[in-house]
Amino acid sequence: MTATIHYEGNLRCQAIHLQSGTSIETDAPTDNKGKGERFSPTDLVCTALATCMITTMAIRSVEIGIELKGTSVNVKKHMLGNPRRIGKIDVVVAYPAALELTAAHFQFLKDVGNNCPVMKSIHEGIEVIAEYKNAEI
């Protein structure tokens, strides 16, 4: 097992990661009868994608002698209705300005990010737009 989830009422859940004991809480979003005071389950899907992308890139960046510390990733979820579902995920990976990537390094990292395990697990009906750029100074 990976986690145990406890429904706490009022559209909130607590998930406990069994290996580490850490926990996260979810709440239904305000546009779906919740308070929006925690990540929603669909927020976690998008967040999982973004964190998987940067984590996989950081793992593989060692091969090309690059440290990605300071890289930021922003993610935006777009919901559709009937049935309610994630329709699109926008991800922007911004490398620190001080990280001088060659064109080959930039392409390598982009390929890694676009092929992380969560990206490969996203349903083909969900549009994913991934943008990679150097952060502004």
| 10-residue mean pLDDT series, the chain (137 residues) | 97 98 97 95 98 98 95 97 96 93 94 98 97 79
Contact call for residues 75 and 39 (beta carbons, < 8 A): no
pTM of the model: 0.94
Q: For residue 137, what pLDDT is reported?
A: 43
**3-class SS at 64?**
helix
Q: Which of 91, 82, 79 is nearest to 42 (CA)?
A: 79
CATH hierarchy code of domain 40-134: 3.30.300.20
Domain ranges of the chain: 1-39, 40-134
